[in-house]
Structures are given as C-alpha cells and as structure tokens.
C-alpha cells in the first residue's frame, strides 16, 4: 500500500514551572454515593467538584440510578459484596484524606460503618456526611426511617453533617416533618439540637429551602455552622434567581470535603463550599434538551480554562501548521473560545465600523450600555461639584477612594501591558501607568492642601469602600479570565466617562475658581486629558478588530459604566 501526504508534529513537554512539583502529594477525597448519569448530582457532581478543587477523586458506588433532571427512570443497587471490596481495596491501597457520603443504601451504610469503626480514630479520614433523605428529584432509595437510623449511626464518626431543613426535621423527628424557623437564632438552636441528637461534633444546617417572611432576610440564604465548641457561624449569601439548582447538596458537601483534604480549617472549608456552590448556581449552564422544563444543573467548571486553549497560547505550541493545513481552521486560529458563539452585530455594520472607526459610539449606543452610560456621565455628583453644593466630607471620601482606585487602576494597566499583543501596545500601557501616577500625586496635593492632611501615611491607610471593592473585583476577574481586548474594554469607561461627564457640565461650573472643586473639574477638561481620550478612542477601534464577539465587549462596557455610577453614588451617599 502506498502512503499519501504526511505531516509531522512535535508535541510539547509539560509546563516547566508546574512540572517542578512533579509527583507531589495530591489531596484525595473518596465519595461514597450513587451515580447520576445526567451528571448534575451523585458521584458525578462529586468527582467534578473534587477535580475543580485540585483534589484526586476516588469513588465507591452504593447504587446506580438512571435519571435526568426530568425524572428517575431506574435504580440498581450494587451488591453488598462488591461494594465492600470496592471500599476496602481503595482504603487499603490508596491514601484517603477525606470521605464524603451522599445517597446511600442500607447495605452500604452497614459496610461503611463497620469499616470506619474498625479504623483507629486518629487515622480516620475527615468524614463529611450529606444526609440525603429525599433527593431533589423526589426519589429515595430506602424507607426514610431506616435511613434516619443509619445516618444517626454514622454521625458520631463524622467531622461534619450537612442537613437541609427537611433532613434536619427528619433527623430530629419533628412532627409533620417541619422545622419551626422564625429567625436565625432558631436555626442555631436546631443545629445545636442536631449536634446533641446525632453525636456529630459539627453541624451545617443549610437554609437554602427556608423562605423567610421578613422583608430584610427574604432575599438572603442563611447557612448555620454549629461547631463542637458551641460557637456558631452564620453564612449569609444573596439568593439568586437561577433555576440551575440540581446537585447543590452533593456539590456543597464535596467542596467542603475537598477543602478539608487540602488542609483548610472547618470554618473556611465551609465558606469556600458555600461560595463555590453559589458561584456555580449563578453562572449555571445550558445542557438540557429544549423539551425539559425542570431545573438544570449547576456549572462546576465556571473557572476552568481548557488545556488546548492554554497550549495554543503557549509560545512553544507546535501544532500551528495543522491549523493552516486543515480544512476547517476557523476554530483553532481564533483564541477567544467565546467568540465562536456568534455575534448579534450584522456584518455590514461591523465592517463599516471597522473601516471608519467609531466603535466608541457603537458601544455607548448599545441598548445594554446606554442606560448605564447615561447615568454615569450625567451624575448628580459631578453637577454638585460643578456648582459647589457637594458636602466637603463627601468630596474628601471620593478623593480618597479615587486615590485607592487609581492605585489599582495602575496595577491593572500593568497587567494589560503584560498581555499586550505588540511592543507599541505595551509602551502605551506603561505610559498610562506613568500618567496615573501623576494623577495620584495631584490627588495627594489636593488633599494635603485642602483637607489639612500632613501625614503621607494617610494615603496608604485608605480603606476601600464597597463600591471600590466591587469595581476592583471586576478588574481582577477580567484580568484572570478575559483576553487583552476584554481588559481594554473594562479599562475604557473610566477614561472616557470622566471626560464626557465634565464636558456635560462645563457650561455650569459656577464654583469659585480657587475652590478645589474647580480645579478638579478643569483636570478632566484639560488638553492632556482630551489627548488621552483620543488615544482611548483609537484603542477601542483597535480592539473591535480583534474579536467578532462584540456582545461581550458591550456587556463589559455596560457592567463597568454601572460600577462607575455606583462609585459616585457611594460618594454622594457617604455619611461620615
């Protein structure tokens, strides 16, 4: 047989810094639970969670289900003997740092109890018991009362028990299966009762199903950790409207077990678990077929970057040749995975803007951006600076926050410089850093002159307010997960908006010319600032050439305009 065209590709070695830590101990977590083929819950959700927590996942299957978020179609129990061999061989041959249990069967609890009881207490792994009594899908594998008894038998060996309120009521044997909860203190009391009744030293009573009637707490999810020493921690998170809640219980217990295996304290392990689950709910994902109307699964992989994308960005990536030779090379050449999702912009408009260069106008007239841009550049804060009616302490608070902001802004520009596609882009970013430093000096001078500050240390001690933290957090997030173009889009509204906001009031600057307010207004109308804005326009025209996914650029622009508005809101509402 003859041979046709061949290509030869040399595959890269492992990332050299990561490989420095070769064969190091990876924390390990074993899930003892049931399989959910649809991947949202059960050992599938557990393994996904262990993996995203950089832990090594082990499994021991008590039963298999055939289910989707729609329904449970079949349940198959694993024979006791097989379960036992599976558990004992893993515990004997593999290092196990933590165990998480989920939906169990009578047989599996018996075996687990026996095996764990036979271990020296000091050598026992952390044990997180998620006392699954009713799966969110409605199916349960055995008689409730029997499970309650089994869980209670397991509890004294556990590090942590994580019931939701339905499970708590069953474990406590409440009449009518309802916990009577009126306040957070009631939750703490219930958790304490659970500790006494089960013998598990630490209880996490989950409040996801509690519907508080109080207006103030209505939109809050409250989880209570009651600890062995009698202290309690109340974790409050904002309830989000997402319908992607399939598998939250499994994921929370798995995340906590992973964090414990990593050596975190219980308090932090729980914090990390709660935030991880909330993030996974909030980001969500679309994986159901259209006819399914049930709750979808959470997104375990919201923070993951796919390895092939990392490889393609790698200077040593050796498979570029394949991209050129392959029939369909569109997917790999475009490094921005999300740009594949298509763009809503029509192609004629796109090419018109790309040719003539008015991407800034496109952005601020986008329906998502426009309301936030308008609130931002027509802000009452600026009007009240211009006419001199803003309270001095509010302006002082603003200047301090803005000083801390600029510090962060400089740092993010350094990051943008490091991602810059050309040396020229890098130089420009570094220039901006220098300009920001100049602006910071001006802020310092203004404050020292007008607010009688004589200690330079004052500026290092500025505490970041909520609006600033949220803003800085956005920068941090786009720095970590976004492209250079996305980062440039996020950095733009500050530069462009201040100029436009001041231009909007320039005919109404009635404050005295010796006032600090006057000087502040003039700063953003000065020629050097207008020049910087011109550079900013050019940059926006440049980044719109680099991606087809203008939707995301608009989303970013809108989000940051909102953050700018909130920044001035915070100053306006400052109360000393």
Positions in 201-230 near a copy of itself (CB under 8 A): 230
End-to-end Cα, the chain, rounded Å: 85
Nearer of residues 386 and 563 to a copy of itself, judged by Cβ:
563
Measured CA to CA, the distance from residue 217 to residue 228 in angstroms comes to 27
Residue closer to a copy of itself, measured from CB, 78 or 533: 78
Distance CA 488, CA 495 (A): 11
Please report, as residue ranges, which positions from 77 to 136 form the binding site for a copy of itself (by CB under 8 A). 78-79, 81-82, 85-87, 89-90, 92-95
Specify the stretch interacting with a copy of itself by CB under 8 A; choose among 76-84, 112-120, 377-385, 509-517. 76-84
The answer to whether 127 and 60 are in contact (CB under 8 A) is no
Q: Which residues pair with 160 in a beta bridge?
A: 128
Residues 6+ apart with CB under 8 A from 54: 26, 27, 262
Based on the shown chain and the rule CB under 8 A, indicate whether residue 447 belongs to the binding site for a copy of itself. no
Residues near 345 by beta carbon (within 8 Å), at least 6 away in sequence:
548, 550, 551
Residue 275 interacting with a copy of itself (CB under 8 A): yes
Q: Please give the DSSP secondary-structure letter assigned to residue 246.
A: B
Cα atoms in the Cβ-side hemisphere of radius 13 Å centred on 527 = 0
Write out the binding residues for a copy of itself, residues 346-405 only, by CB under 8 A.
Answer: none
Stretch that binds a copy of itself, among 65-73, 105-113, 202-210, 532-540 (CB under 8 A): 65-73
Pairing status of strand 98-101 against strand 28-35: parallel
Would you give the binding string for a copy of itself spanning residues 183-202, x where CB under 8 A is met? --x--xx--xx---------
CA distance 242 to 249: 16
494 is catalytic: yes
Of 464 and 572, CB closest to a copy of itself: 464
* Cα angle, residue 575 at apex, residues 574 and 576 outer, rounded to 5°: 105
Please choose, out of 168-176, 205-213, 295-303, 443-451, the segment that lies near a copy of itself by the rule CB under 8 A: 295-303
Token pair in block for residue 240 = 């989000």
Instruction: Copy the structure tokens of residue 109.
Output: 């609890």
Residue 212 or 517 with smaller CB distance to a copy of itself: 212
DSSP string covering 361-418: HHHHHSTTTHHHHHHHHT-HHHHHHHTT-S-HHHHHHHHHHHHHHHHHHHHHHHHHHH
Q: Respond yes or no: is residue 77 known to be catalytic.
A: no
How far apart, in whole angstroms, are the C-alpha atoms of residue 169 and residue 205? 11
Q: Closest CB to a copy of itself among 131 and 296?
A: 296
238 scored as a contact of a copy of itself (CB under 8 A): yes
Contact segment (CB under 8 A) with a copy of itself among 133-141, 207-215, 421-429, 516-524 equals: 421-429
In this structure, the strands spanning 126-129 and 98-101 are parallel
178 binds a copy of itself (CB under 8 A): no
Pick one of 122, 423, 452, 456: the residue that binds a copy of itself (CB under 8 A): 423
Question: What SS3 state is found at 345?
Answer: coil
288 binds a copy of itself, rule: CB under 8 A? yes
Q: Which residue, 192 or 450, has its beta carbon nearer to a copy of itself?
A: 192
Minimum distance, C-beta of residue 510 to a copy of itself, in the bound complex (Å): 36
**In the complex, least distance from residue 211 CB atom to a copy of itself, rounded to whole angstroms:** 19
Residue whose CB is less far from a copy of itself, 209 or 340: 340
Alpha helix positions (H), 130-247: 144-154, 165-171, 184-198
> For residues 109 and 93, what is the distance between their CA atoms, to the nearest angstrom?
21
Which CB, 338 or 445, lies closer to a copy of itself? 338
Q: Does 453 bind a copy of itself (CB under 8 A)?
A: no
Among 115, 119, 146, 316, binds a copy of itself (CB under 8 A): 316
Q: Count of residues binding a copy of itself (CB under 8 A)?
A: 181
Instruction: Determine, following the binding rule CB under 8 A, whether residue 168 of this chain makes contact with a copy of itself.
Output: no
Instruction: Pick one of 338, 374, 380, 531: the residue that binds a copy of itself (CB under 8 A).
Output: 338
Query: What is d(CA 397, CA 289) in angstroms, rounded to the nearest whole number?
Result: 52
Residues of this chain, 557-576, that bind a copy of itself according to CB under 8 A: 559
Q: Which of 494, 521, 554, 561 is catalytic?
A: 494
- From the list 60, 133, 533, 561, which residue makes contact with a copy of itself (rule: CB under 8 A)? 60
Active-site residue, from 84, 193, 564, 566: 564
Q: For residues 177-215, b (16+ Cβ closer than 10 Å) or e, as one string?
A: eebebeebeebbbbbbbbbeebebbbbbbbbbebebeee
**CB proximity list for 374: less than 8 A, separation 6 or greater:** none
Among 242, 375, 378, 504, binds a copy of itself (CB under 8 A): 242
Pick the stretch among 99-107, 370-378, 476-484, 498-506 that binds a copy of itself (CB under 8 A). Answer: 476-484
Q: Is 41 in the site for a copy of itself (CB under 8 A)?
A: no
| Burial (CB count within 10 angstroms: exposed 0-12, middle 13-18, buried 19+), residue 23 | exposed
Tell me how far apart the alpha carbons of residues 208 and 192 are, in angstroms, rounded to a whole number.
Answer: 19
Among the listed ranges 120-128, 232-240, 445-453, 538-546, the one in contact with a copy of itself (CB under 8 A) is: 232-240
By CB under 8 A, what part of segment 516-535 binds a copy of itself? none
Residue choice 148, 205, 415, 516 for contact with a copy of itself (CB under 8 A): 415
User: Which position among 22, 122, 452, 456 is part of the footprint of a copy of itself (CB under 8 A)?
Assistant: 22
Residue with smaller CB distance to a copy of itself, 391 or 407: 407
Catalytic residues: 494, 564
């Amino acid at each position: 047989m003859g041979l046709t065209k061949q290509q030869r590709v040399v595959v890269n070695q492992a990332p050299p810094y990561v490989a420095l830590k070769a064969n190091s101990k990876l924390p390990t977590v074993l899930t003892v639970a049931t399989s959910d083929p649809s991947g949202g819950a059960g050992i599938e959700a557990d393994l996904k969670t262990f993996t995203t927590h950089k832990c090594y996942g082990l499994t021991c299957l008590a039963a298999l289900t055939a289910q989707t978020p729609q329904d449970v179609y079949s349940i198959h129990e694993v024979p006791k003997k097989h379960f036992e061999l599976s558990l004992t061989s893993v515990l004997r041959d593999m290092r196990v740092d933590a165990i998480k249990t989920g939906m169990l069967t009578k047989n599996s609890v018996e075996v687990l109890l026996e095996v764990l009881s036979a271990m020296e207490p000091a050598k026992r792994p952390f044990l997180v018991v998620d006392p699954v009594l009713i799966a969110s899908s409605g199916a349960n594998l055995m008689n409730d009362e029997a499970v309650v008894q089994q869980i209670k038998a397991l509890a004294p060996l556990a590090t942590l028990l994580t019931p939701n309120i339905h499970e708590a009521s069953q474990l406590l044997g409440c009449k009518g299966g309802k916990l009577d909860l009126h306040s957070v203190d009631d939750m703490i009391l219930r958790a304490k009762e659970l500790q006494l009744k089960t013998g598990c030293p630490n209880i996490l009573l989950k409040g996801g199903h509690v519907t508080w009637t109080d207006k103030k707490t209505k939109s809050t999810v409250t989880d209570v950790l009651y600890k062995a020493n009698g202290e309690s921690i109340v974790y409050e998170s904002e309830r989000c409207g997402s319908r992607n809640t399939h598998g939250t219980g499994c994921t929370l217990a798995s995340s906590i077990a992973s964090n414990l295996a990593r050596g975190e304290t219980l308090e932090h392990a729980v914090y990390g678990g709660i935030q991880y689950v909330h993030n996974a709910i909030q980001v969500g994902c679309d994986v159901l077929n259209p006819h399914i109307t049930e709750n979808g699964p959470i997104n375990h992989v919201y923070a993951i970057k796919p390895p092939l994308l990392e490889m393609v960005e790698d200077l040593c990536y050796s498979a570029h040749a394949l991209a050129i030779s392959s029939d369909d090379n569109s997917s790999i050449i475009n490094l921005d995975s999300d740009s594949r999702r298509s763009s809503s912009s029509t192609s004629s408009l796109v090419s018109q803007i790309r040719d003539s260069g008015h991407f800034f106008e496109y952005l601020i007239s986008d329906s998502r951006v426009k309301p936030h841009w308008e609130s931002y550049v027509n802000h009452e804060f600026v009007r009240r600076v211009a006419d001199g009616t803003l309270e001095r302490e509010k302006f002082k608070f603003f200047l301090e926050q803005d000083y801390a902001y600029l510090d962060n802004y400089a740092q993010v520009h350094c990051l943008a410089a490091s991602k810059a596609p050309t040396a020229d882009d890098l130089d420009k970013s570094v220039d901006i850093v220098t300009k920001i430093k100049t602006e910071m000096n001006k802020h310092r001078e203004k404050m020292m002159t007008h607010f009688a500050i004589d200690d330079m240390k004052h500026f290092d001690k500025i505490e970041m307010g909520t609006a600033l933290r949220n803003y800085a957090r956005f920068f941090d997030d786009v720095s970590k997960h976004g492209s250079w173009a996305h980062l440039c889009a996020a950095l733009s509204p500050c530069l462009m908006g201040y100029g436009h906001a001041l231009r909007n009031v320039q005919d109404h600057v009635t404050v005295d010319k010796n006032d600090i307010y006057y000087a502040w207004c003039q700063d953003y109308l000065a020629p050097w600032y207008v020049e910087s804005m011109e550079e900013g326009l050019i940059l926006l025209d440049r980044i719109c050439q680099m991606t087809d996914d203008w939707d995301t650029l608009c989303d970013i622009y809108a989000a940051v305009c909102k953050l700018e508005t909130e920044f001035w809101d915070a100053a306006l509402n400052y109360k000393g």
